[in-house]
Amino acid sequence: MSTPHDITVAIVGATGFVGRHVTRALLAQGHAVRTLVRDRDKARAVLPPGASWVFGDATSRTALNELMTGANAVVNCVGIRREWLPDVTFENAHQRTTRACIEAAESAGVARFIQISALGTRPNAPTAYHRSKHEAEQFVRRSRLDWTILRPSLIHGPDGEFMKIVKDWTLGRSAPFFVLPYFARVAPPAGFPPIPKPESARLQPVHVDDVAGAVVACLRQAEAIGEVYPSVGPDIMDWPQLLATIRDSLPLSDGKKKIVPLPGVLASAFARAAEAVGLGAALPFGPSEPIMAIEDNTAALDKARHQLAIHPRPFAASLRQYAAQV
Main-chain phi, psi angles of 252, to 5 degrees: 70, 5
Q: Report how far residue 212's alpha carbon sits from residue 152's, in angstroms, rounded to the nearest whole number.
A: 11
> Would you call 3 helix, strand, or coil by DSSP?
coil
What average pLDDT score do residues 213-242 get? 97
Q: Would you place residue 96 in the very low, low, confident or very high pLDDT band (cuts 50, 70, 90)? A: very high
Residue 5 predicted with pLDDT over 70: no
Give the chain's mean pLDDT: 94
Distance in angstroms (rounded) separating the CA atoms of residues 245 and 222: 38
| Pair 145, 105: CB distance under 8 Å | yes
- The domain segmentation of the chain, as residue ranges, is 8-155+206-233+298-313, 161-201+238-293
Q: Are 1 and 65 in contact (CB under 8 A)?
A: no
pTM of the entire predicted model: 0.94
Query: Which CATH code is given to the segment(s) 8-155+206-233+298-313?
Result: 3.40.50.720
148-173 pLDDT per residue, tens: 999 999 999 999 999 999 999 999 99
Q: What average pLDDT does the segment 16-26 reach?
A: 98
Contacts of 291 (CB under 8 A, 6+ apart): 126, 127, 264, 265, 268
